[in-house]
Amino acid sequence: MDIFEKCFVSGIQDEARERGIYPFFHALESKQDTEVIMEGKRRIMLGSNNYLGLTTNPEIIEAGVKAYEQYGSGCSGSRFLNGTLRMHLELEQALAEFLRKEAVVTFSTGFQSNLGIISAIVGPHDYVIMDRENHASLYDGCKLSYGTMLRYRHSDMEDLEKKLRKVPEKAGCLIVTDGVFSMGGDIANLPEICRLARQYGARVMVDDAHGLGVLGEGGRGTASYYGLEDQVDIYMGTFSKSLASLGGYMASSARVADYVRHTSRPFIFSASIPPANCAAALAALRYMQKHPEIVTQLQENALYMRQLLSERNIRMRPSNGERIPIIPIYTYEPIPTLTIAKELYDNGVYVNSSLPPAAAPHECLLRTSLMATHTHALIEEAVDIIAEVLRRYEL
């Protein structure tokens, strides 16, 4: 059998191309902002994770330019060897203080962070228990760990407890959950997860990629939102969303951080975050600390858009976070979803299509997401276009 045979099996991407509704790889010709030029036309951007709108902030851009001039374009090595800048250490210290943890380890991407954390912490005789709707990078981290993975139904605490009962008494156990789920925009039931972890002697890791800058005191994330910062053992987050850069991090106790630095293969064998990205992330963090009102503005924008969609009887996926800027709209089947997304795109609104396996079968979604810098006028314009297109499909 030719190993390339699988590459020639027809998939939904082929059907989408034939129908002219292929939704991926649209090329930006401007900055990542509330309004963009994409393939020659103005579009309202409702498909970005640039939650605080800081990718166009002059202070963040200036910090990146200065770092580029001072340190050059890259570090040409891993943090372990020649690739540690003083700025990396400064960023880690600033994040640790902000998140109220003893230490932070930074990784070159968010995806790599989850690979590096889980594969280092979970060993062959350990168990890792996952929410079924966790991000793909968490699942890949489990594969690298060689530990036993158990999955519980999304946000089902009874099912989580059933899985905890299966863990042998002498085995280590890590419960892993998204803080804010990237597709549904709902918030993990962290109080009950932490209670069960204490009861069964497990540790807790929260992927807060979509929580940092979005909720909690000053944007500190999901644990802060619930007042459980002292009960979450590991936070993971990214710089590519609220912090307007590229990279990721782990926040934990100093001893756990030191262990990961010396055992995590994705950390040890990858080049470090380039200087400009490091500087931009640090500047964005400091800006968020100085301007906590942008977090409030983001939450108010989310609430405003939900209200407008509700007034137009547009069915959104239920969420326990009405102020979360991820707002998924039901479109149910794959081809209609792609068709609607294409019509929205042609009418000047960019959204993301969520298809299986990212969405449950027959529950496809248009994933919309907001920024703190969206004006009410832009939100109103976008919702009017969404409502008009969905009305044609009786949705």
- 182 is known as an active-site residue: yes
CA gap 293, 56 in Å, rounded: 17
Task: Supply the CATH classification number for the domain 5-51+292-392.
Answer: 3.90.1150.10
- 6 is known as an active-site residue: no
Query: In this structure, are residues 196 and 162 in contact, taking their beta carbons and an 8 Å threshold?
Result: no
Instruction: Give the full edge-to-edge strand order of the sheet including 248-252.
Output: 103-107, 248-252, 234-238, 203-207, 173-178, 127-131, 148-152
The residue-averaged pLDDT of 169-179 equals 97
Question: Residues spanned by CATH 3.90.1150.10 within the chain?
Answer: 5-51+292-392
**What does the longest C-alpha to C-alpha distance in the chain come to?**
60
Residue 358 in this model has a pLDDT that exceeds 90: no
- Out of 210, 252, 270, 374, which one is annotated catalytic? 210
Residue 327 in this model has a pLDDT that exceeds 90: yes
When the pLDDT of each residue in the chain is averaged and rounded to a whole number, the result is 97
CA gap 86, 96 in Å, rounded: 16
**Closest listed residue to residue 355, CA positions, set 111, 44, 23:** 23
Start-to-end CA distance of the chain, whole Å, equals 45
Q: Kindly report, residue by residue over 241-250, the tens digit of the pLDDT.
A: 999 999 999 9
Architecture of domain 58-290: 3-Layer(aba) Sandwich (3.40)
Residue 36 in this model has a pLDDT that exceeds 90: yes
In the prediction, which pLDDT does 5 show? 95
Beta bridge partners of 350: 45
Residue 394 in this model has a pLDDT that exceeds 90: no
- Out of 48, 113, 155, 182, which one is annotated catalytic? 182
CA gap 193, 214 in Å, rounded: 21
Query: In this structure, are residues 328 and 354 in contact, taking their beta carbons and an 8 Å threshold?
Result: yes
Question: Residues spanned by CATH 3.40.640.10 within the chain?
Answer: 58-290
- 376 is known as an active-site residue: no
- Out of 135, 241, 342, 374, which one is annotated catalytic? 241
The angle that helices 190-200 and 157-165 make with each other, rounded to 10 degrees, is: 20
Rounded-to-10 torsion of CA 337, 340, 341, 347? 180
Question: 228: exposed, middle or buried (C-beta count within 10 Å: 0-12, 13-18, 19+)?
Answer: middle
Residue 322 in this model has a pLDDT that exceeds 90: yes
Q: pTM above the 0.85 mark?
A: yes
